[in-house]
Amino acid sequence: MHSRRTVLTTAAAVVAAVGPTGAAAPAPATSAAPLGHRPPSPATRARLRRLISRMTPEEKAGQLFVMRVYGHSATDPDPDDVAANRKEIGVANAAELIAKYHVGGIIYFGWAHNTREPHQIADLSNGIQRAAAAQRVPVPVLISTDQEHGIVARVGAPATLFPGAMALGAGGSREDAGTAATLAGRELLAMGIRQDYAPDADVNVNPANPVIGVRSFGADPQAVARMVAAEVKGYQGAGIASCAKHFPGHGDTDTDSHVGLPYIHHTAEEWERLDAPPFKAAIAAGIDSIMTAHIVVPAFDKSEDPATLSRPILTGILRERLGYDGVVVTDSLGMEGVRVKYGDARVPVLALKAGVDQLLNPPDLSLAHAAVVRALADGELSERDIDAKLMRILLLKDRRGLFAHPYTTRRAVDRVVGIRSHLAAADRIADRTTTLLRNDAGILPLSRRRERRVLVVGYDAAAPTGTGGPPTTVLAKAFTELGFTATALSTGLSPGRPQIDEAVAALAARDAVVVATYNVTADSSQRQLVAALLATGKPVVQLAVRNPYDIAQLPGVKAALASYSWTDVELRAAARVIAGRRDPAGRLPVAIMRADTPTTALYRIGHGLSY
């Protein structure tokens, strides 16, 4: 079901829509304990306490860190990866990282060459666990990654790639969200990845948000909450830890916390209405971990410390008011939003004092690790508090089977990863997500008789991880497989006059054009491209391949759709809709505001046309 309640989605409009402001504290959660999994037995706690008691301060400090490491292998990465590791971390490989710093977690990235292909990923995971087992105090490593799907996917094909959060929000099916998370979780588990930093629990109420956007399920807090809960249950039902992010909510920002320090100016009451519901739903669903946001919320912390370093937010609200006692992990400590106020040596200590358990990806691990050890030695961090954090982390690892079964196999990969039934499920789910925003004069669907020759132009970034190529290439191939004669022509993110003229000339010999647009702004030259194509009189179909707001900047377009991502599974689904092979079933999970009057909705939440 889609909410058709009016939700205004500029930052100012949201504040105006939520009613009287105030400084009331958030209401306590109805339950102080997460649901969804059984509490650990006394025997389990006793076993883990004995493990903690054997650790030195250096080992305890190390267990609190989740770190990047370059290389496709735990012991024998490429020379370039060894050089990068030595420069950034002071070790050669993952095994040395574990031996020197006793890290409790490792995060995989494509750019760190950790995720080349599924068998290699499984081998890397096993190598990491063997290195952990060789330690004086053997503790399995919690291997994690950001596999949100859509525009954020660290593991590419042949693993199955599902539609991203906003596409799922457009589909509106909790069953689809749960299925996607379940199948994705099974594949990650087979590769030895035991934690996914997903789902994104932010409510994207600001169209200008530069970092969340389609990573969010939408702008309706209750709808987002339902989808978050479904994905939490899906991932954790598949046997891996889920992580809701970014607490207390990154949806109403116009600054990217990777490069600056965003502010959220919601009152406590507004936060309760707009930002809190998805996190409450995640906690009720038994979420294993919650990630912090590097954002300032003055309504909750007058010091204007980012939430990652704020005890009033992490302990006062998340722990005490919402009753959450799972693992709290920081967003990357290399992001500028958490570094602007304090030095890199102070940030880890302040985060732990605020209520954090895991410290993710500090820019200088040696400095950060030494700072935590020093704070333990001088009493700024109490051993009792650190032991409580370690207990939460170890309980998560135990719950996810790492102590009993830390390894995977290549056979497990072959049985699960990228299998035909998973790929078919991804296509079926994607078929329910494409949103038809405008179809004046019945331009769509395109006919193989009337518009047999199709030109595909527009945005082409570097092909995302594990995809079939740039967006125009993927779309052209999809149209060809549907019986059209299709040609791809990349015009880029900022087409100049030569690219625009080339596209117009190419259209002269075609019957219709599909133009893939990407976050069109008032001064974007993509507007000139679309205007020039419209001036030819040929049918023009505009497909927004990231945020769905592009149509507000393109008033002359008569046929417009949103795919919410440029990944293969969503582009193929969009092609099927454009070709009339599938009825457009997606409904907007955010409002699209008018460009000339941004407080007025051009299309409201729930809008979507059918054939």
The domain limits of the chain are 59-416, 434-603
Mean pLDDT of all residues in 371-391 = 97
184 with 236: CB under 8 angstroms?
no
Q: Is 258 a catalytic residue?
A: yes
H-only helix segments in 317-462: 336-339, 346-354, 365-377, 383-399, 410-416, 420-430
Measure the N-to-C terminal CA separation of the chain; round to a whole number of Å. 20
Handedness of CA 500, 504, 505, 511 (dihedral sign): positive
Angle between helices 174-190 and 420-430 (to 10 degrees): 150
pLDDT at 513 over 50: yes
DSSP one-letter code for 425: H
Distance CA 600, CA 595 (A): 9
Residues 6+ away with beta carbon under 8 Å from 525: 494, 495, 496, 500
Amino acid at 53: S
pLDDT at 28 over 70: no
**pLDDT tens, 230-275?**
999 999 999 999 999 999 998 887 776 787 788 889 999 999 999 9
- Residue-level pLDDT at 464: 52
**pLDDT tens, 36-62?**
567 889 999 999 999 999 999 999 999
Distance CA 495, CA 490 (A): 9
**pLDDT tens, 549-559?**
999 999 999 99
Fold of 59-416: TIM Barrel (3.20.20)
Please count the other Cβ atoms lying within 10 Å of the Cβ belonging to residue 3.
Answer: 18
**What average pLDDT is seen over the chain?**
91
**pLDDT tens, 397-423?**
999 999 999 999 999 999 999 999 999
363 with 157: CB under 8 angstroms?
no
Q: Is 331 a catalytic residue?
A: yes
Q: Is 398 exposed, middle or buried (0-12, 13-18, 19+ CB in 10 A)?
A: middle
Catalytic residue from among 202, 220, 331, 431: 331
Burial profile 271-290: b = 16 or more Cβ within 10 angstroms, e = fewer: bbbbbbbbbbbbbbbbbbbb
Assigned CATH for 434-603? 3.40.50.1700
Name the band, by pLDDT with cuts 50, 70 and 90, for residue 208: confident
Catalytic residue from among 37, 119, 258, 265: 258
As a whole-number percent, the residues of the chain with pLDDT over 90 amount to 83
Distance CA 54, CA 303 (A): 38
Residues 6+ away with beta carbon under 8 Å from 608: 170, 435, 436, 437, 584, 585, 586, 587, 588
Whole-structure pTM value: 0.91
- Residue-level pLDDT at 263: 86
More confident residue, 210 or 408: 408
In the β-sheet with 540-544, what is the strand arrangement from edge to edge? Answer: 435-439, 559-562, 540-544, 512-517, 453-458, 485-490
**pLDDT tens, 410-457?**
999 999 999 999 999 999 999 999 999 999 989 999 998 898 999 999
